[in-house]
Amino acid sequence: MPLVAANWKMNPTNLDDALDLARGILSVARGHASSIEVAIMPPFPWLVGVSEVLDGSGVKLGAQDCFWEMKGAYTGEVSPAMIQGLCQWVIVGHSERRVYLGETDEMVAKKTAAALSCELGVIMCVGELADHYDAGTSDQVVTAQVKADLANCSADDSARLVIAYEPVWAIGTGKSADPEHAYKTMRLIRKVVAEMIGAGAARKVRILYGGSVNSKNVQQYVELPLCDGVLVGSASLDAEEFQHIIKVTAEVYGHR
């Protein structure tokens, strides 16, 4: 089943707006819940409120990050055990955390293992920087990231593992990737995943595209043969935009 995930990042800035946005998304998402999986990732303080809006709808809830330990003296961190039961998904390794907070592949691998051990689904983000893209080294960079980030994973994790290919130069910039580049990189990711956890298991791992997806360009990504959905940032903050993304995705996968 395709996955359409909304990464709200550090938005909206108050609970009422978050609940309104969740209700707006839900009004369309609930009608497609049997054919596409929709997941909303609000900031931590809005998780409980949004979970009440989504309750019983089939629309999933996720966190934008988690720590790799379950409890203890880690000021400011939130453990997977704390969000287990509230969330079904968690994002790890988002490029904004890698760039602004120095998150490394080793940390991403530990977070992934910890989240999976708590029965959470993991959306692991990988993608090259603009410099890598310009230098033609995207393949090497993404291969190294996927190998390092999957270091603690096994075939048993495949059903709850999603890899989002997000070229960093395409995130929040309005410069979405050429679908051909996205396709080739997603094909490469699947090959690397197969090397890491076996070909059979790799087929179950879903691979998303992310990076300036909106209602106008979403079709060209979800139509790609290897694409299992999209991770959407800015456009998920506009209920109508995101509703349209859900409808287009449902339509494309309905014809597969």
What residue ranges bind ligand PEP (CB under 6 A)?
7, 9, 166, 171-172, 210-213, 231-235
Name the minimum Å distance from CB 171 to ligand PEP.
Answer: 4
User: What three-state secondary structure class fits 148?
Assistant: helix
Q: Per the residue annotation, which of 94, 103, 128, 132 is the catalytic one?
A: 94
Name the minimum Å distance from CB 56 to ligand PEP.
Answer: 27
Residue 175 structure tokens: 């410069």
Q: CA-CA distance, 110 to 230, in Å (whole number)? A: 24
Dihedral sign from CA coordinates of 236, 240, 206, 141: negative
| DSSP class per residue in 184-228 | HHHHHHHHHHHHHH-HHHHHHSEEEEESS--TTTHHHHHTSTT--
The question of whether 166 is a catalytic residue gets the answer: yes
- Please, which residues have CB within 8 angstroms of residue 4's CB and are 6 or more apart in sequence? 36, 37, 38, 39, 229, 230, 232, 245, 246, 249
Name the minimum Å distance from CB 193 to ligand PEP.
Answer: 19
The question of whether 119 is a catalytic residue gets the answer: no
Nearest to ligand PEP of 197, 213 (CB atom):
213
Name the minimum Å distance from CB 107 to ligand PEP.
Answer: 18
Nearest to ligand PEP of 62, 233 (CB atom):
233
Nearest to ligand PEP of 197, 218 (CB atom):
218
Question: H or E segment at 31?
Answer: none
Q: Per the residue annotation, which of 96, 103, 128, 166 is the catalytic one?
A: 166
Enter the DSSP assignment of 135.
H
Question: Shortest Cβ contact with ligand PEP: which residue?
Answer: 233
Nearest to ligand PEP of 125, 197 (CB atom):
125
Residues serving a catalytic function are 94, 166
